[in-house]
Amino acid sequence: MMRRLLILHWISAVVMAMALVFLLFILVVKYGNADARVFGAGLAVIGAFFSLMAAPSSVHITKPLERLEESALRLAAGNLSARAELLGERHMVGKELVNAFNIMAEKVESMVRGGKELMANVSHEMRSPLARIRIAGECLKDALDRGDSEDARNMLQTMWEDIEEADKMIGRILEFSKVDLLEPLPMADEVRPAEILDDLARTLKPFARSKQIAMTLALDSSVLVAGDREWLRSAFKNLLENALRYTDPGGAINVTSRKNGGVIIEFTNTFPPLDAAELQSIFEPFYRGATSHSDGTGLGLAIVKKIIGLHHGDVGAKNVPEGFQVWVRLPVI
């Protein structure tokens, strides 16, 4: 396509130059004297020269566009690694366009790869509860055939627990997918993190007491952040539920905040230290460490990371003397 445009440009330049020479020649012959004829002829030659010189300059414009077209066609054909290349200093006209295309291609590749990884992980994670439900269904049929009502009730309970696990997994997957659709996130609310965390703590404290876990909060109630109240609530809820899930009976959870170029909220719970590799991996989707509990989905902290990132914040984890800590940093108003 670009090559055809270049040929047409050359032809147009030649035709324009010839027309200009012919027109000036006619005017000079008809209306001018000898000096005027010489001047007109010179002017015609100069005009023709610049018309022809304009054509080579089109190479510097059309060549990068031609390469860009080739890269776009490769990307459309499924080659997600296709990138446009700069042709050097002589072809700087298309630099911004090439860079913009490559940024777009990288995002497309990342999104497609992420979708494939999510599908693979979902298939793997859903296989276990579905397999257990199938086995429990076969055992239930055998129990009913034998007339063993007690065994049948046990199989029904097992099936119900596996259905709940699958339902929880589907809910987390939907939440994880929704976060991907939020960008850019409207920062319409003025949010007090302390209020949200106090409310969540009141809701979760009965469960904490049932596990004999002490939960304490020491938060600055004056701190305001800009963002989406419901999504921040979802992030904080995931963090508190994660702390409760991975704190053994008799342990403690402490939630504190401090200002340091924004607000840093720290969720600390009594838990054995993690190695460096686990600290880097716990925010990855479906990651569950060697010491993970069976009721976790491996999506809670991945959801937190996405939500906090959309609020222009950071999230991280580290070992501390008291146990394990996840921290969140958010800009303040």
Reported as a single tens digit per residue, the pLDDT across 173-182 is 888 777 776 6
Give the burial string for 154-177 (b: 16+ CB within 10 Å, else e): ebeebbeebeebbeebeebbebbe
Which pLDDT score, from 0 to 100, does residue 199 have? Answer: 95
What strands lie across the sheet with 214-218, from one edge to the other?
214-218, 252-259, 263-269, 323-330, 314-320
On whether residue 220 sits in a domain, the answer given is: yes
Closest CA to 307 of 225, 219, 221: 225
pTM to 2 decimal places: 0.63
The whole domain housing 222 covers 189-330
Which pLDDT score, from 0 to 100, does residue 53 have? Answer: 60
On whether residue 74 sits in a domain, the answer given is: no
Residues with Cβ < 8 Å from 311, sequence gap 6 or more? Answer: 185, 187, 225, 226, 227, 228, 231, 232, 330, 331
**Angle (nearest 5°) at CA 196 between 194 and 197:** 65
CATH of residue 294's domain is 3.30.565.10
On whether residue 224 sits in a domain, the answer given is: yes
On whether residue 325 sits in a domain, the answer given is: yes
Which pLDDT score, from 0 to 100, does residue 294 have? Answer: 46
Q: How far is CA 144 from CA 156, 162, 163, in A?
A: 11, 20, 20
How many structural domains does the chain have?
1
On whether residue 168 sits in a domain, the answer given is: no
Kindly state the DSSP code that residue 273 receives in the 8-state scheme: P
On whether residue 128 sits in a domain, the answer given is: no
Q: Are 253 and 204 in contact (CB under 8 A)?
A: no
On whether residue 203 sits in a domain, the answer given is: yes
Residues 236-269: tens digit of each pLDDT = 999 999 999 999 999 999 999 999 889 999 999 9
Rg of the chain in Å (alpha carbons): 34
What tokens were used for 164?
Answer: 């709940």
DSSP string, 48-101: HHHHHHHHHHTHHHHHHHHHHHHHHHHHHTT-TT-------GGGGGGHHHHHHH
What tokens were used for 232?
Answer: 């921040």
Cα–Cα distance between 25 and 97 in angstroms, integer?
43
Kindly state the DSSP code that residue 183 receives in the 8-state scheme: P
Give the burial string for 316-328 (b: 16+ CB within 10 Å, else e): bbebeeebbbbbb
For the chain, which residues score pLDDT lower than 50?
Answer: 2, 294
On whether residue 116 sits in a domain, the answer given is: no
Which pLDDT score, from 0 to 100, does residue 60 have? Answer: 62
Cα–Cα distance between 147 and 158 in angstroms, integer?
18
Instruction: Give helix 59-76 / helix 34-57 axis angle, nearest 10°.
Output: 30
Instruction: Give helix 300-310 / helix 229-245 axis angle, nearest 10°.
Output: 150
Which pLDDT score, from 0 to 100, does residue 202 have? Answer: 93
